[in-house]
Chain A
Amino acid sequence: MDIETLEHSLMAEIAAASDEAAIEAVRVSALGKKGSVSELLKSLGAMTPEQRQTAGPAINGLKARVTEALTARRSELRDVAITARLAAEKVDVTLPVRQSPAERGRIHPISQVIDEIAAIFGDLGFAIAEGPDIETDYYNFTALNFPEGHPAREMHDTFFFRPDGKGERKLLRTHTSPVQIRTMEAQKPPIRIVIPGKTYRQDSDATHSPMFHQVEGLVIDKTANVANMKWVLEEFCKAFFEVPSVKMRFRPSFFPFTEPSLEVDIQCDRSRPGEVRFGEGSDWMEILGCGMVHPNVLRFGGLDPDEFQGFAWGMGIDRIAMLKYGMPDLRAFFDADVRWLQHYGFRPLDMPTLFGGLSG
């Protein structure tokens, strides 16, 4: 067979090869040890130099062209195979994926708001203090200047435990103020603390719950006065409600543990159903109570009221959470309804910071 015929025949076989195995068979039949092209190459040895001069390049050319054709065909076949595999591997990408746990989980609004409060007061140089829920009459009332039998004690609708052997009855704290005394006992001024925690009163309706959360603030040094208190509370309300300005109304009031005492209303707009906007509008909403720490409370805390002075305030965490985030009913806070938690709760990675904005 002459070279030309062989080349035609081989090229036809290469073109006809339909898979890797077929192309390999062609390669072996042409370029393998006993392959047709290999045999031709072997025949060069028996030729004269003159014959070799013409046959040599012709046979080597044939080998090169066949090799190239094999490579090209192999590459073609691989592309076809990959295309077919890819087509076979296609999936329906519209199928849903599972939510990650971090997307499903929720932080309760109370925890979130406590973190927001900590972020703000941390920036103002306050520390966070805590105290026990089950208190003594001394810390909850007496040391806070509630005289024995005074009607002010009745305002608190206290939960009591049964009297112990000594006739002393413990109670569930009605406010976070006992921690004021505990703090004064534990540290010397200057004191700047906020005290978040659970509090309890015998009361239940849409805005009252037998268990609720309060945050108390206490500043004691040698100069803190009502003017400073107004500043702290206004700064807090601006930062907390994330508005550029707020208007607050301070009204003289009465608490046994402060003198002078004030109640604070915040200006707001409640004309849109289910929504409260601060820094605008014509309504006043009561938001907190505050005052200068009563001299008797300072004395109970072991401080001389002529040397030390300060102010304290208390407000409902649940209440300010309801106001800020528009939750209508306090009772739902404690029902653990996953639909409510899913809607009003916060994602675990939504951490309130001042540098990133309290609520993002």
Chain B
Amino acid sequence: MKLTLSWLKDHLETDASLDEIVGRLTAIGLEVEHVDDKAALKPFVIAKVLTAEKHPDADKLRVLTVDTGTGAAPIQVVCGAPNARAGLIGAFAAPGTYIPGIDTTLGVGTIRGVESRGMMCSERELQISDEHNGIIELPEDAPVGTSFASYVHLDDPVIEINLTPNRPDATSIYGIARDLAAAGLGTLKTPYAPEPVPGDGPCPVTVTLDFGETPSLCRGFALRLVRGVKNGPSPKWLQQRLLAIGLRPINALVDITNYITFDRGRPLHVYDLRKLSGDLVVRRARDGETVLALNEREYTLTPDMCVIADAKGADSIAGVMGGEHTGCDEATTDVLIESALWEPLNVARTGRELGIVTDARYRFERGVDPEFMVPGLELATHMVLDLCGGTPSDATVEGYQGYEPKPIVFPVTEVKRLTGLEVEPAECRDILERLGFGVVSGGYLLDVRPPSWRPDVDGKADLVEEVMRITGVDAIAPQPLASHAAVNGKILTTLQIRTRAAKRALASRGMMEAVTWSFIPAKHAELFGGGQPELKLANPIAADMSDMRPSLLPGLVAAAQRNADRGHGEVALFEVSGTYEGDTSDRQRRVAAGVRRGTATLDGAGRHWAGNAGAVGVFDAKADAIAALEAVGAPVDRLQIEAGGPSWYHPGRSGTIKLGPKVVLGTFGEFHPKTLEALDVSGPICGFEVFVDAVPEPKAKPTRTKPRLDLSPFQAVKRDFAFVVDRAVEAGALTRATLAADKKLVAGVSVFDVFEGASIGDGKKSVALEVSIQPVDKTLTDEDFEALGKRIVENVAKQTGGVLRG
């Protein structure tokens, strides 16, 4: 919402400065977004050309002497304008002045050998208009030496308010003045409604509201004819006001409607009577009916939209835009003025569906003042008579039911309860009355009736806001929130703690935390098991941001590749965030995932004098996955690793981490070459995903005491075994068989060598195990070790078919 200071002062009697007004507007909730104080035009002064001689060396240039009203000697200016002549009065810029239209700061120049100490300006150079055929010419009595901007009324500061959608009353300059007056910044000097204009007979055009059995979309319609008007350009003051707030003057009749739209928040429409066919009908549009609107575009309508039609069919889109066919032009002599009330939601929906944004829609969808429908028509009639002459008919009004305020019982103690602000009941009442509220009883319990221009107010809390904003929020002193009487305990949920722990653990493994988009290309989603219809956005911001991600991996893999394309191919990235298996809250997962590319291993990437890093692979991903699981508190000693993972992984170089037969805690591996090809990614690259929310909740423990530590007094011993097994036998099976051979004595097993080769045999491998033996109740004898070794060999043979390597 834009307004100028002088326009505001039409309605507000005030001594306040521009700064005070701007500050108060913001303080009462009408946030000033921008103020153009017109400082750019301040340096230009009115000056008179005393002499104009032809330039000695240029046919099209003249050398002027100019009186700038300082009393000093005339100033020499070289000028190329065809209308530059002695006696002309125009706008002068001295050296050092910034000329907005040519984006240049003027200096003293020499043009074809003649010095020029300033400039006589065109309108375009001052960015007043596009006029550039010559320099500005002012009337002969224009006062030389005074401000040009002030003389032509271009010094009027423009204030732009960022209006919140709840304040339709402030879509008018009058309404803004009313708010400022209520806030004590002056007095409102314009009466709410003008005197009605007497007509010389009934309006010859009738209007029928015809909605049949359907709900009415029109809450009232007022109409009047003015015959014998003379239309043409509106007066300069009116044009200047419209231009100042960014509107283009059209002709007097149209300019009047635009003026009242901004002045009083009352959109109007004018029809040229001679272009209308018969009487007006307000109705729903027929399905597929078209309207050629004032913007010269044709719109196809639906029965959910409201139109004003004549005998030929739909003419205007109600509350949104008038029709081209019946618009007023310079030839209009008989004008029908419409002031109507439309259903806000219907106007909003119609405007949205047709993609039309107008000043009328802006107001109607927020809700215009119903009580001003008829006064708005009267005000327009006054202006038409003033500017265009003519003879008015009586006003005809259809369908208006009047305004019935909804009373609010308002205990003034609510102000203190909700804001902490102490405001006397009398002051509360006074504030509300200044804002136009009816207050019909006194004391601490007020019976308040909101005015017709405040459809946003419907409860006690709204009245608290009114009192608070007019009193001033600054008057509320901060009050500490009651503090807890005890040490604050843990505030995070298990999932939050685990999310945090996973992030810190993965970052401490040399990975960098990425935050990638929740929506990814459909192709990527489908590759990773997603792409369900319920997870596709109906209105994605870009085609490649269309599907909610089923996995964090495609985003991370793409991010790794982007880095590689920038020359940083050795990257380790992770993310701990949401993935989406469905559109319900229980199907949003919390996942920790990571990728490593190139040689970005745990110990570092790239070449190093002490040893180069190797290419990343499945075991790097496995280590990350297990570290993440350990950080989130999964029982890492009970994890089962199964060969193979989902389809996007390399089938022989991926694994699935499970807890029991059903619970999948994660997957890891190198990627399937087809996945990489489809993502347009080059390797080596590996990744993992850990399902943080699948890890069981820790059991509530009655104590934080750790279990007793039993240390054996007997020396621990290590023994090596190498088994030859079929290539397909998993090391995990060998380890399990070894551990199971004697659960008491075998404290641990580690694999320290895996070997395949001709010496072992085709399809075979040798796996070397180091077995930690911890005697429990006595030192073991050679015979004991031998017996244990035998048990291990036998169990391994039984479980895996492995034989001790000879």
Residues of chain A touching chain B, judged by Cβ–Cβ distance below 8 Å, are 95-96, 98-102, 104-108, 110-111, 115, 118, 121-128, 130-134, 148-152, 154-155, 159-162, 164, 169-170, 172, 198, 200, 202, 204, 210-211, 219, 223-228, 230-232, 234, 250-254, 259-263, 292, 294-295, 305, 309, 333-339, 341-342, 345, 347-349, 351
Within 8 A of A (CB), among B506-525: 506-519
Selected A-B contacts with CB under 8 Å, 18 pairs: A96-B609, A101-B604, A102-B507, A124-B483, A134-B585, A155-B165, A161-B536, A226-B418, A227-B420, A231-B478, A231-B480, A260-B419, A292-B419, A334-B515, A335-B562, A339-B566, A345-B513, A348-B503
Partner of B483, one of A101, A122, A125: A125
Per the bound structure, the CA–CA distance linking A349 and B510 in Å amounts to 12
A125-B484, A159-B539 known, 12 other contacts, Cβ within 8 Å: A98-B604, A107-B507, A110-B515, A121-B491, A124-B481, A128-B492, A161-B536, A225-B417, A225-B420, A226-B468, A263-B31, A309-B418
A337 close to B566 (CB less than 8 A): yes
Q: Max chain B CB contacts within 10 Å: which of A124, A152, A260? A: A260
Per the bound structure, the CA–CA distance linking A101 and B623 in Å amounts to 14
B541 close to A111 (CB less than 8 A): no
Within 8 A of A (CB), among B454-495: 459-462, 464-465, 468-469, 473-474, 476-484, 488, 491-493, 495
The number of A-B residue pairs with CB atoms under 8 Å apart is: 261
Minimum CB–CB distance from B543 to chain A (whole Å) comes to 13
Per the bound structure, the CA–CA distance linking A339 and B495 in Å amounts to 30
A149-B602 contact, Cβ under 8 Å, with A126-B491, A252-B468 = no
B533 close to A162 (CB less than 8 A): yes
Q: Max chain B CB contacts within 10 Å: which of A123, A148, A252? A: A252
B462 close to A211 (CB less than 8 A): no
B539 close to A342 (CB less than 8 A): no
Whether B74 sits at the interface, judged by CB under 8 Å, is: no
Interface flags for B442-464 (1: CB within 8 Å of A; 0: not) read 00000000000000000111101
B508 close to A227 (CB less than 8 A): no
Partner of A108, one of B31, B514, B537: B514
Per the bound structure, the CA–CA distance linking A232 and B480 in Å amounts to 7
Partner of A105, one of B29, B512, B534: B512
Q: Max chain B CB contacts within 10 Å: which of A96, A111, A164, A172? A: A111
A337 to chain B: closest residue by CB: B563
Whether B535 sits at the interface, judged by CB under 8 Å, is: yes
Minimum CB–CB distance from B345 to chain A (whole Å) comes to 4
Per the bound structure, the CA–CA distance linking A154 and B418 in Å amounts to 29
A265 to chain B: closest residue by CB: B26
Q: Max chain B CB contacts within 10 Å: which of A96, A108, A131? A: A108
Q: Which residues of B contact A260 (CB under 8 A)?
A: 418-419, 461, 464-465, 468-469
* Chain B interface size range: 35 or more
Q: Max chain A CB contacts within 10 Å: which of B352, B474, B578, B602? A: B578
Minimum CB–CB distance from A154 to chain B (whole Å) comes to 7
Per the bound structure, the CA–CA distance linking A225 and B422 in Å amounts to 13
B509 close to A253 (CB less than 8 A): no
Within 8 A of A (CB), among B588-608: 588, 602-604, 608
A224-B481 contact, Cβ under 8 Å, with A106-B512, A134-B548, A262-B473 = yes
Within 8 A of A (CB), among B308-349: 345, 348-349
Q: Which residues of B contact A347 (CB under 8 A)?
A: 507
Q: Which residues of A contact B465 (CB under 8 A)?
A: 252, 259-261
Whether B615 sits at the interface, judged by CB under 8 Å, is: no
B418 close to A252 (CB less than 8 A): no
A190 to chain B: closest residue by CB: B482
Whether B274 sits at the interface, judged by CB under 8 Å, is: no
Whether B54 sits at the interface, judged by CB under 8 Å, is: no
B345 close to A149 (CB less than 8 A): yes
Q: Which residues of B contact A338 (CB under 8 A)?
A: 512, 563, 568, 571, 573
A252-B420 contact, Cβ under 8 Å, with A161-B583, A259-B465 = no
B510 close to A104 (CB less than 8 A): yes
A341-B165 contact, Cβ under 8 Å, with A225-B418, A309-B417, A349-B508 = no
Minimum CB–CB distance from B782 to chain A (whole Å) comes to 38
